[in-house]
């Protein structure tokens, strides 16, 4: 949970973006290679579900993640720290940002220092990692089939024998902090001093005199000193780029941004070409209602707006109803694919029929279509697998 929180703030801020699932047109942060060993997403979802029953639309996923991370550290013997609440959830989650912003396991000290300085983050005291994150240290450090000389030889031999048995192992996992990877303690720092840090970026911590001196001081001090410093850093981290007020949203489900076609929002970048450059000549989509288009331009003020979002279903974007179809018939569908629905006579007739029927008819049709969709190319019997962790294919 603590690792989840570290990853969730690295890009958009403390906004719970790491909790969002990927979609057909977006690979989310949790799908990025450095995040594949993160755990506990289902637990966060269960907590959110219980909280929503008591006070719907009030407590953000970002707040839940911050609170659960704090309590998870406490459960394994770590310190307590204050967690101010009131965060809102971000709407953007992108794996590319994760890859660009998470400190790489191959970073040297200077790169680490720069990366952490940007956000004020720390290192690992608990957790696991895929072999793919450090295999080059064991099998091909300089591209000549050699081993990283800064890695303790006995530790390297153990990793090769028992964990990562080939340079192409992309599925096996190993403890970042052998002997205490489920415990919050100073074991990580002690291992780093023994040249048993799993990543090249761990080894880099003792290549700098000031950093090495700090680690020695931490290891030589009572655990309470480290706990106090760690708690203070977590409090500081919890204030990084927090969304409040009208920014962001309060997600109903932590894994999904509040959007759909009968409910939700859309980013300007998904449809701005309809407003500003439909045929590549700086023109507007003629199939779009001109009053609706003028209103959209007030929100999406340029073709290159990649940040602003608008309601997909104006007037009822938080409600599951027939508003979307009514808007489509008025030529006020947000996307070009929406407008396409009334270019076909049969489809347009079906939409008119739905709009003129009682809502229960649409609800019944929608439920049946969802049941049908749930049967598409389902794996059963000996096909596929039962994953132990939903984010990782079984090794």
Asked if 230 contacts 79 with a C-beta cutoff of 8 angstroms, the reply is: yes
For 174, the enclosing helix (H) or strand (E) is: strand 173-175
- d(CA 348, CA 362) in angstroms, rounded, equals 15
Give the tokens for residue 144. Answer: 């000549």
What burial class does residue 244 get, using C-beta atoms within 10 Å of its C-beta: 0-12 exposed, 13-18 middle, 19+ buried? exposed
For residues 7, 10, 12 and 15, what is the CA-based torsion angle, rounded to 10 degrees? 40
DSSP letter (8 states) at residue 311: E
- Binding site residues for substrate, as ranges? 103
- Binding site residues for heme b, as ranges? 124
Asked if 87 contacts 13 with a C-beta cutoff of 8 angstroms, the reply is: no
E-state strands within the chain: 128-130, 173-175, 265-267, 309-311
- Binding site residues for Ca(2+), as ranges? 13, 15, 17, 29, 125, 177, 185
* DSSP bridge partners of 277: none
- Binding site residues, as ranges? 13, 15, 17, 29, 103, 124-125, 177, 185
Cα distance from N-terminal residue to C-terminal residue, the chain = 23
Give the tokens for residue 352. Answer: 């008119």
């Amino acid at each position: 949970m603590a690792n989840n929180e570290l990853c969730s703030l690295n890009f958009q801020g403390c906004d719970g973006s790491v909790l969002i699932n990927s979609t057909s047109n977006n690979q989310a942060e949790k799908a990025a290679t450095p995040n594949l060993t993160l755990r506990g997403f289902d637990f966060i979802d269960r907590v959110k579900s219980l909280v929503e029953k008591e006070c719907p639309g009030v407590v953000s996923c970002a707040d839940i993640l911050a609170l659960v991370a704090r309590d998870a550290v406490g459960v394994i013997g770590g310190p307590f720290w204050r967690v101010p609440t009131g965060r809102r959830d971000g709407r953007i989650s992108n794996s590319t940002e994760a890859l660009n912003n998470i400190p790489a396991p191959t970073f040297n000290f200077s790169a680490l220092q720069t990366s952490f300085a940007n956000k004020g983050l720390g290192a690992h005291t608990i957790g696991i990692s895929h072999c793919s994150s450090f295999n080059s240290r064991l099998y091909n450090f300089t591209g000549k089939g050699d081993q990283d000389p800064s890695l303790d030889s006995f530790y390297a031999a153990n990793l090769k024998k028992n964990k990562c048995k080939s340079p192409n192992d992309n599925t096996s996992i190993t403890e970042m902090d052998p002997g205490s990877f489920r415990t919050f303690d100073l074991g990580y720092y002690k291992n780093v001093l023994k040249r048993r840090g799993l990543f090249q970026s761990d080894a880099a911590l003792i290549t700098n005199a000031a950093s090495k001196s700090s680690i020695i001081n931490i290891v030589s001090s009572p655990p309470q000193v480290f706990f106090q410093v760690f708690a203070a850093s977590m409090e500081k981290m919890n204030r990084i780029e927090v969304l409040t007020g009208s920014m962001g949203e309060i997600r109903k489900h932590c894994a999904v941004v509040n959007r759909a076609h009968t409910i939700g929002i859309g980013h300007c970048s998904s449809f701005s070409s309809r407003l500003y450059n439909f045929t590549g000549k700086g023109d507007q989509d003629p199939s779009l209602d001109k009053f609706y288009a003028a209103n959209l331009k007030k929100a999406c003020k340029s073709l290159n707006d990649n940040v602003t979002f608008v309601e997909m279903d104006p007037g009822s974007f938080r409600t599951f109803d027939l508003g979307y179809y009514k808007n489509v018939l008025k030529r006020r569908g947000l996307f070009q694919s929406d407008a396409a629905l009334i270019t076909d006579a049969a489809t347009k007739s079906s939409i008119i029929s739905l709009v003129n029927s009682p809502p229960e008819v649409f609800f019944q049709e929608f439920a049946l279509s969802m049941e049908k969709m749930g049967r598409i190319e389902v794996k059963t019997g000996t096909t596929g697998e039962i994953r132990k962790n939903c984010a990782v294919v079984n090794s």
